[in-house]
Amino acid sequence: MTPLQRRFIRRLLVGALAVLAVLAAADTGLWFFATTRLAHHLAAWQARSHTAGWTLSAGPPQRAGWPLAAAIVLPYPVLAGGATDLPGGLFWQAAQAELSLALLPPWRLTLRVTGPQRFRLATLAEFGFAADRFEVDVPLAPFQRNPGAQAHEAEFSAAGLRAALPTGELAIAAMALHAVTRPADASGEAALTLTGSARAIDLPPLPGGRPWPPGPYIASAAFDTAITGPVPRGSSLAARAASWRDGGGTLVVRHLALAWGPLGLTGSATMALDKRLQPTATAMASLAGYEAPLEALATSGLLAPRVVQAVKGVLGILARPPQDGSPPQVELPVTLQDRTLAAGPFPLLRLQEWVWR
């Protein structure tokens, strides 16, 4: 190698190192700016939430994520509040939460939670849980499917979730939830759309150690729902429920699918509130493999034997044996009216009155 070639290689290396140094400095500056903005927006959100009756507390935030992401790590976060909208409110606690933003391109904000967590909703018992993955993704800017109607979305995903419930451990291999919210006055659009799925669910026993009639294992579950009508504000749950009903509020289950032990269920439903604020619904369900779960319901005492026999009689009338020898399948219209649950023209069960507190 000639001296001229050696000088050229040295200059090329020095130039490459200089470019890398400039890029590293630019990336560090962008990372510092982005983490500063994240911390600023987090503090602003805390202030707004406090005004709305929520509190978010945590240990001192720490910058993280360099060089590919900007992140703020919150040790031991605690979120509590919502008592004005829900009796008893909500409580959530975790070992660590991380807000991260990819530097290129910075389009989505990710909340990643690690370590043990605790959760309580309304007056239900508080329980602890943990997951191998627990994330919420939120786009930075609203997306629009309808011109003139802004919408916001969020995606939740978890894997290896384990919850310690009063009767035992609940385990879910994987679950996902996609939520879209729109302004209540968006014509023809649902105020809230929820789409979710889960697979490989191991259920704990029922209270008293009783087994679940279809069995302790759910292979898969999926749903697609939409809530229409106004998002009411009022002094009580009853007042808000009445306002939602008077505004034409409905809950539409566009699709439901469940594979639970021998039981297979698919269906759709539309629900609302009647003049007494009691739930009313119409649904169409397709059932297969229902014989064993019905017998288990009678054996366990969860339903009276006469009710189980009535249900079996109705299903037997409506069942159509398939040609391939698989279990009978039933296309079953279901209604809930005046607190009476009926399958077709046959009343099955009288429900207790729902009291809004």
Hey, where are the domains in the chain? 1-130
Q: Is the pLDDT of residue 165 over 70?
A: yes
pTM: 0.82
CA distance 13 to 75: 43
How far apart, in whole angstroms, are the C-alpha atoms of residue 222 and residue 216? 18
Alpha carbon distance 257, 53 (integer Å)? 37
Structure tokens given for 178: 């996609």
> Closest Cα partner for 139 from 150, 154, 151?
154
Average pLDDT over residues 90-116: 88
Question: What three-state secondary structure class fits 115?
Answer: strand
Residue 308: what pLDDT? Answer: 80
Residue 144 half-sphere exposure, CB side, CA atoms within 13 Å?
Answer: 6
Distance (Å, whole) CA 351 – CA 346: 15
CA distance 70 to 350: 56
Residue 220 has pLDDT above 70, yes or no: yes
SS3 135: strand
Residue holding tokens 């991380």? 98
pLDDT of residue 241: 87
CB distance 165 to 202 below 8 Å:
no
The predicted model gives 209-224 an average pLDDT of 92
Share of the chain above pLDDT 90, in %: 39
Which helix (H) or strand (E) segment is 177 a member of? strand 168-181
